[in-house]
A = this chain, B = another copy of it.
Amino acid sequence: MIAEKLESESDAILAANAQDMSAAKAAGISDAIQDRLLLTPARLAAIANDVRRVCQLADPVGNIIDGSTLDSGLNLQRRRVPLGVIGVIYEARPNVTIDVATLCLKTGNATILRGGKETVHTNQAMVTVIQQALELCGLPAAAVQSIDDPDRALVAELLKLDRYVDMIIPRGGAGLHQLCRERSTIPVITGGIGVCHTFVDRGMEFASALTIIENAKTQRPSTCNTLETLLVDRAIAALFLPELSERMAGAGVTLHATPEAFSLLQGLPAAVVPLEIGNLDDEWLSLDLNVVIVEGLDDAISHIRTHGTGHSDAILTRSIANAERFVHSVDSAAVYVNASTRFTDGGEFGLGAEVAVSTQKLHARGPMGLEALTTYKWIGYGDDLIRR
Which residues of A line the B interface, CB within 8 A? Answer: 68, 70, 72, 74, 76, 81, 83-84, 162, 166-167, 181-182, 185, 187-188, 205, 208, 211-212, 215-216, 219, 316, 323, 327, 331-340, 342-344, 348-350, 360-363, 365-367, 375-387
Contacts and interface: CB of A to CB of B under 8 A. Distances in A.
Nearest to A211: B386
A384 B338 contact: yes
A68 B340 CA distance: 17
A362 B377 CA distance: 11
A49 B342 CA distance: 49
A72 B215 CA distance: 14
B378 A344 contact: yes
B211 A335 contact: no
A189 to B, nearest CB: 8
A333 B378 contact: yes
Contact of A387 (B187, B348, B361, B386): B348
Q: Secondary structure of the A side of the interface?
A: mixed
B380 A375 contact: no
Given A70-B348, A70-B349, A363-B363, A339 B187 contact: no
A384 B211 contact: yes
Contact of A339 (B212, B340, B363, B382): B382
A349 B76 contact: yes
Name, among A72, A185, A363, A377, the residue most crowded by chain B CB atoms within 10 Å (CB to CB). A377
A203 to B, nearest CB: 14
B84 A166 contact: no
Contacts of A383: 338
Given A83-B362, A365-B375, 11 more contacts: A70-B350, A76-B349, A166-B360, A182-B185, A187-B362, A211-B386, A215-B387, A323-B381, A337-B379, A340-B386, A344-B378
Given A70-B350, A387-B348, A339 B380 contact: yes
B384 A208 contact: yes
A383 B339 CA distance: 7
Contacts of A74: 339, 343, 348
B387 A340 contact: yes
Q: Taking each of A81, A316, A385, which has the highest tally of chain B beta carbons within 10 Å of its own beta carbon?
A: A385
A194 to B, nearest CB: 13
A83 B361 CA distance: 7
Given A348-B387, A361-B84, A339 B215 contact: no
A205 B343 CA distance: 59
